[in-house]
Amino acid sequence: MIEDLQLETLINVVYEYYGFDFGSYSRASLKRRVDRIYQLDGFQRFSDFLSKIRSEPEYYKRLVEEITVNVTEMFRDPSFYKILKDEVLPNLAAKPFIRIWHAGCSTGEEVFSMAILLKEANLLQKAIIYATDINAKVLERAKKGVFGLQLIKQYAENYRNSGGKNDFSNYYIANYGVAKFNDEFSERMVFSQHNLVSDGSFNEFDLILCRNVLIYFDKDLQERAITLFDGSLSTLGYLALGSKETLKFASISDKYVQVNKEKVWRKLK
């Protein structure tokens, strides 16, 4: 494993050369991610690693892409999707227009899951999903709506466990080992790069999902990101976090009420 001091040096170099601040990321996880790419790319000396980051912007991009975690699946945590379907969407249904923000959408599996729920609730046509991530590469993949066919069996099982009643295979076309999800879903999505560390609010939303992103931030940055979500959420809108993340310690928590003990909070004022 790389040394603490080396990690701090890297954080400073990245900030100095590229203006990106990893200083508020959880150290234990960041250290593992940096060590992973250091080993993966076969470096022997940390100074070589640093000078490559300094001198090659393309390599810096790779560093960011490899540091950010992009492990995701469709209908991850089925009980969470059940709450979306049974509690959240019915309460948004009366709105003339539904705006949703997926912050940290990675390769898009959860965005397409959301779109399927919207379609089944007959809300897809009046909804728009803004899906953002810091990593441009995963956004390119997300846009395509193409996922490995070998994963679909698990996704279909998650879908059924979340209360899905339809034939999951209606939602995609299988070909050459991949599943391409229907265009009616991606037509309702807007993908763009957004950085929770430095970018601000860009719209007002009825539902914001940010799942398993805050775990990589320290408490100060978590607080900042939650404040950003709060400022981007309409009254009576919903904020959804990952299954081990909480709003409990956030300064804005008294404005929110938790929905059915799941990681969904409704903004009351």
Partner 1 sequence: MEETKVVGKFDVVILGGSAGSLQVLMKILPLLNVQLPFAFVIVLHRKSTEDKTLEQLIDLKSTVNVREVEDKVLLVPGNIYIAPSDYHLLFEKDNYISLDASEKVNYSRPSIDVSFESAAEIYKSKVLGILLSGANADGTKGMQIIKEMGGTIIAQDPETAETPFMPLNAIKFAKPDYILTVEEIIDFINSIQ
Give yes or no for residue 29 binding partner 1 (CB under 8 A). Answer: yes
Our finding on whether 62 is near partner 1 (CB under 8 A) is no
Instruction: Identify the residue among 104, 108, 237, 242 touching partner 1 (CB under 8 A).
Output: 242
The answer to whether 108 touches 148, Cβ cutoff 8 Å, is: no
Indicate which single residue of 10, 11, 22, 31 sits in contact with partner 1 (rule: CB under 8 A).
Answer: 31
215: contact with partner 1 by CB under 8 A = yes
Instruction: Candidates 41-49, 144-152, 163-171, 212-220: pick the segment binding partner 1 (CB under 8 A).
Output: 212-220
Using CB under 8 A as the binding rule, whether residue 258 contacts partner 1 is answered as no
Distance CA 113, CA 154 (A): 13
The pair of three-digit structure tokens given for residue 230, joined into one six-digit string: 């709060």
User: How far, in Å, are 188, 208, 213, 215 from residue 241 at the CA level?
Assistant: 22, 9, 8, 10
Verify binding: residue 246, partner 1, rule CB under 8 A.
yes
41: exposed, middle or buried (Cβ count in 10 Å: 0-12, 13-18, 19+): middle
Measured CA to CA, the distance from residue 216 to residue 28 in angstroms comes to: 9
Q: Which one, 205 or 265, has the nearer CB to partner 1?
A: 265
Residue 1 touches partner 1, criterion: CB under 8 A: yes
Is 6 near partner 1 (CB under 8 A)?
no
Residue 212 near partner 1 by CB under 8 A: yes
Which structure tokens are listed for 139?
Answer: 């956004």
Q: Which of 39, 203, 243, 260 lies at the binding interface for partner 1 (CB under 8 A)?
A: 243
Strand order in the sheet with 178-181: 146-148, 178-181, 172-175
Residue (of 217, 160, 162) closest to 26 by Cα position = 217
Please identify, using beta-carbon distances, which residue of 71 and 94 lies nearer to partner 1: 71
Task: Using the rule CB under 8 A, give the single segment among 12-20, 21-29, 140-148, 184-192 that binds partner 1.
Answer: 21-29
Query: C-beta of 32: minimal distance to partner 1 in Å?
Result: 7
Q: Sign (positive/negative) of CA torsion 213, 219, 220, 224?
A: positive
Residues forming contacts to partner 1 in the complex (CB under 8 A) are 1, 26-29, 31-33, 69, 71, 212, 214-216, 219, 222, 242-246, 249
